[in-house]
Amino acid sequence: MNNATQIIISEIYNLVGNRTIRDIINLETDNIYNKSAVSVIIKKYINNNSLYNLDVLKDYNIMVKFISVDVNYKCFEAMSFTNVSLFNTIFEKWDSQDPLENASLRSQLNSNYLFIPVIKNKKKGAYNNYYDWKIGCFSFWVPNESELSLIGKEWEEIQQVIQKGVVLQKVKYGEGYRTNNNLPKQSETNFIHLRPHAKNSSDFDIPYLNYTNGDVEITKQSFWLNKKFINQLLEKYKWKTSSKGE
C-alpha cells in the first residue's frame, strides 16, 4: 500500500470513525428513503468535510463497501457484486490471459476493498433507530492469491452446475408459491454463492432464458460474498489507525 492511500483512508477514518449517524446527518437535506440512504449520508458527509472526495479512491483501485454489522462485527447481510448473466458464466474462465474470457467476478476482485462497518442493534427482527447506528473500525482487503484460488474453486463448482443446467422448482410458500433452484446456497459454500440481484421477480436473465430456449426463466443473479467470509475479512484486515493499514 502506498503512502497516499494510507493518508486518504486515515483521514476518512478520523472524520467518521466511531461517530453515529446522528453526529453527521444534515436534517435539512438528508432523508432516509431506502436501504442505501445511510451509506449516501456517510459518503456525502465525507465529501463535504474531507480534503478528498471519495471518487479519488477510484484512482487507487479502491472500492468502498458499507457493511451492516452487530456490536461484535458480525455482518447481517452478504455482499453483492455486479450481476452478470448465467449465460456469460458458462463460457468464462477463472484464470485466463484473454480479458474477454476472464470471469466477471475475478475481474471485480482485482480491486482493493475498503470496508466501512455500520454498527446496528437488531431485536425481534428490527434494527434500532438509524440515528444511533455507529460507524465502526474500517478494514482494508486486498485479495491475495490464496484467497483468489479458494474463491476460484467454488466459482468453478458453481459454473459446473450452470453448465449442466439450472433446475427450477415451484414450492409452496405461505399462501402462494416461490421458485427454488439448485444453485449452491450460502450454507453450502465457504466464500461465495449466487442469489437473486434483480429489480423485481419479473426481472429475468434474458440471455440465459434464450440460451435454454425459454425453459429456464430465472431472475437476474449475482455472486455474493458469504457472511462468514466477510466476518473473517473484517477481523483479519482491520485498519490500523495508529500508523498504517493492513
Q: Average of pLDDT values for 33-39?
A: 77
Model-level pTM?
A: 0.91
- Cell triple for 180: 427454488
pLDDT value of position 93: 96
List the chain domain ranges.
Answer: 3-236
Nearest to 145 by CA among 113, 115, 110, 114: 110
Beta bridge pairs of residue 126: 123
Per-residue DSSP letters for 198-246?
A: -SSTT-B-HHHHHHTTT----B-EEEEE-HHHHHHHHHHTB--TTS---
pLDDT value of position 32: 73
- Cell triple for 242: 495508529
Q: Average of pLDDT values for 174-188?
A: 91
pLDDT value of position 35: 61
pLDDT at residue 245 tops 50: no
What's the mean pLDDT when you consider all of the chain? 92
pLDDT at residue 242 tops 90: no
3-state secondary structure 122-148: EECCEECCHHHCEECCCEEECCCHHHH
pLDDT at residue 3 tops 60: yes
Q: At what angle do helices 3-16 and 37-49 cross, to 10 degrees?
A: 110
pLDDT at residue 11 tops 70: yes
The DSSP symbol for 185 reads P
Whole-number Å distance between alpha carbons of 1 and 183: 37
pLDDT at residue 17 tops 80: yes
| Cα dist from 134 to 16, 17, 38, whole Å | 9, 8, 11
**What's the topology of domain 3-236?**
ECO RV Endonuclease; Chain A (3.40.600)
Whether the CB-CB separation of 117 and 234 falls below 8 Å is answered with yes
178 burial level (CB within 10 Å; 0-12, 13-18, 19+): exposed
User: 3-state class of 92 per DSSP?
Assistant: coil
Whole-number Å distance between alpha carbons of 181 and 177: 13
Phi, psi of 104 (to 5 degrees): -60, -40
Beta-sheet strands, E only, within 16-158: 62-69, 79-80, 112-119, 122-123, 126-127, 134-135, 139-141
- CA end-to-end span of the chain: 8
Percent share of the chain, pLDDT over 90: 76
| pLDDT classification of 241: cutoffs 50, 70, 90 | low
Over the stretch 105-141, which tens digit does the pLDDT of each residue have?
A: 999 999 999 999 999 999 988 999 999 999 999 999 9
